[in-house]
Every structure is written in C-alpha cells, then in structure tokens.
Amino acid sequence: MMYSLEDLLHLMARLRDPQYGCPWDIKQTYATIVPHTLEEAYEVADAIERGDLDHLQGELGDLLFQVVYYSQLAKEEGRFEFAGVIDGITRKLIRRHPHVFPTGDLYAPLDVPRLSEEQVKQRWEEIKAQERAEKASAPEQLSLLDDVPATLPALSRSAKLQKRAGQVGFDWPDALPVLDKVREELDEVLEAMSENDPAAVADEIGDLLFSVVNLARHLKVDPETALRGANGKFERRFRFIEQALRDTHRPMEDCTLEELDALWGEAKRQEKNLPSCG
C-alpha cells in the first residue's frame, strides 16, 4: 500500500486536532513554521548539490509537508485549502506559459511553435510585470522592486534586485565595468580601514559584496550557489588539514601559519589530482 496526497492531508488534520492531535503541532503558527520551511528547502538543495539523489525523495517529502502545514493553518482560519494552492499555481503557470498553452487549455494538443530560451525569458518577465501592475491599486506608485522577497538570502536578493533594475536599463552594459566597480569598492574598504571606522568598514564591505554579486550576475553565475561551492571547498580542505595533523598527532594550535598553509596547498593539489612537490 502506498499513501496518497489525500492521506497526507488527513494526517495533517489529525496532527492539528485540538483534542487528540500532537501538542507540538497544535501550538504552531505560520511564523513558527517558517524556519523549518527554509531548512527543508536548503536540505533539498544540499541533497542535489551533493549528488545524493537516493535521499532526494525524502527531502522533497519534507518540503511538501511544509506546504501542507501552511494550508492546514489557512483552512482552520477559513482562508484557503490545499486544493486552492494547487489550483492557483496551475492557473498561474498556464498564464505564464502562453507559448505552451496558447488557448489557456491545460490539455490542448501540443501543437504550437517552439520559442527560443531568450524569447521565453522575455515573455516571462513581461507577464510578471503585467501581474505586478494588476496587483497595485495605484500602478504609478508601484516600485519595480516591491515583490522581491525581503526574506531571501542576501546574495540571492541582491541578484534579484539588480536583475529587476536592469530590466529598465539601470545596469552596466557588460562585466568589465562591473569589475572596475569591484576594485573601486575594495579601495573604499581599505580607506575605511585606514580611518579605523568600524561602521564605515561594514558599510563598504556591504557595497563590495553587492558589487561582487553584480559581477557574478553579469557572468551568469548564481552567487548563492557559487558561495555554497566555496564553503564546501573550504570545508573539504580544512578537514584534510585536520586529518593530516591527527595522523601526525599534532594539535593545530601548535602549527605555524606557514605549516598550515603548506597543508592547505597539499589539499588543493590532491583535489586537482596533481602530484605533490615533495
């Protein structure tokens, strides 16, 4: 027997039953569930990035349960139900893909001209812009940045803000002037450091990070993914150093920076499958 989506919805309702449900689940709110939702989304991303596809099904189930949880809370308040979530996303995706569903019929025959990826992106942005305008009671006062979620990771939100501004021409023409901007911001960090002004240093580092995100965007690199990759690389190499020192029974605290740097270099060489220099 395999459980179905209906079974999962029933389970959620039972967990929230005021008399017979789980005490922990009963006391949860939209706000208290948010941290779990973010964690589950990152665990899905982590499984994919590590190539751990054997556990992806389970991680996706955990993420789906978050949607079910919010839907149950909303159902109890008479706002909407899970079926409404499904209906809403299906309608939106049909509307945003007129190149696939030109008549708006989900089950119409697949007999439409194929668009290029660039044409699809352009049409997608036009449709989303129209949706934003329709949401506003006063379109002339609507900011282009209004619907970029404030809760996104900072790197991802920077990229989205920049991309949105670029849609109306507020952008560098290519990556080279952005690279100059990165150098300029780095010089300003150095200047703030020389003035021993912690607040200014923090402000300038923020500008530097924002510029680096802009550079990544122009080079078609997702900054969040790139930084997660750098984090993973640092972790692997640091663990290599720890293991090498354990093998020689030496505490890391007793090593000089030069010795640690040499081990770091060895970790890099092994990652690249290059022979050691001795």
Regions of the chain short of the pLDDT cut 70: 132-133, 135-141, 273-278
| The predicted structure's pLDDT at residue 50 | 87
Query: Does residue 56 sit in the same domain as residue 68?
Result: yes
- Looking at the structure of the chain, the number of domains it has is 3
| pLDDT for position 125 | 75
At residue 98, the pLDDT reads: 84
Per-residue pLDDT, 278: 40
Any idea which residue has 């036009």 for tokens? Answer: 126
Paired tokens of 231? 């984090």
Segments of the chain assigned E as strands? none
Distance CA 158, CA 152 (A): 9
Does residue 120 fall inside a structural domain? no
| Per-residue pLDDT reduced to its tens digit, 151-192 | 888 999 999 999 989 988 999 999 999 999 999 999 999 999
- Indicate whether 277 belongs to any domain: no
For residue 219, give every residue at least 6 positions away whose Cβ sits within 8 Å of its Cβ, in sequence order, or none: 175
Q: What is the pTM of this model?
A: 0.67
> What digits encode the pLDDT tens for the residues 95-123?
888 888 888 899 988 777 777 777 777 77
- Cβ atoms of 198 and 238 within 8 Å: the answer is no
Measured CA to CA, the distance from residue 81 to residue 92 in angstroms comes to 17
> How much is the pLDDT for 139?
53
Clarify whether residues 160 and 214 are in a common domain.
Answer: yes
217 burial class (0-12, 13-18, 19+ CB within 10 angstroms)?
Answer: buried
Residue ending a domain, choose from 221, 236, 253: 221
Q: Which of 16, 17, 14, 10 is nearest to 30 (CA)?
A: 16
Tokens 């300003």 belong to residue: 188
Cβ-contact 252, 241 below 8 angstroms = yes
Q: Identify whether 145 is part of a domain.
A: no
Domain encompassing residue 159: 154-221
> Both 255 and 178 in a single domain?
no
CA torsion 262→264→269→273, rounded to 10°? 140
Does a structural domain hold residue 133? no
Residues 229 and 194 placed together within one structural domain of the fold: no
**Helix 154-166, helix 198-218: angle, nearest 10:** 60
38 and 74 part of one domain: yes
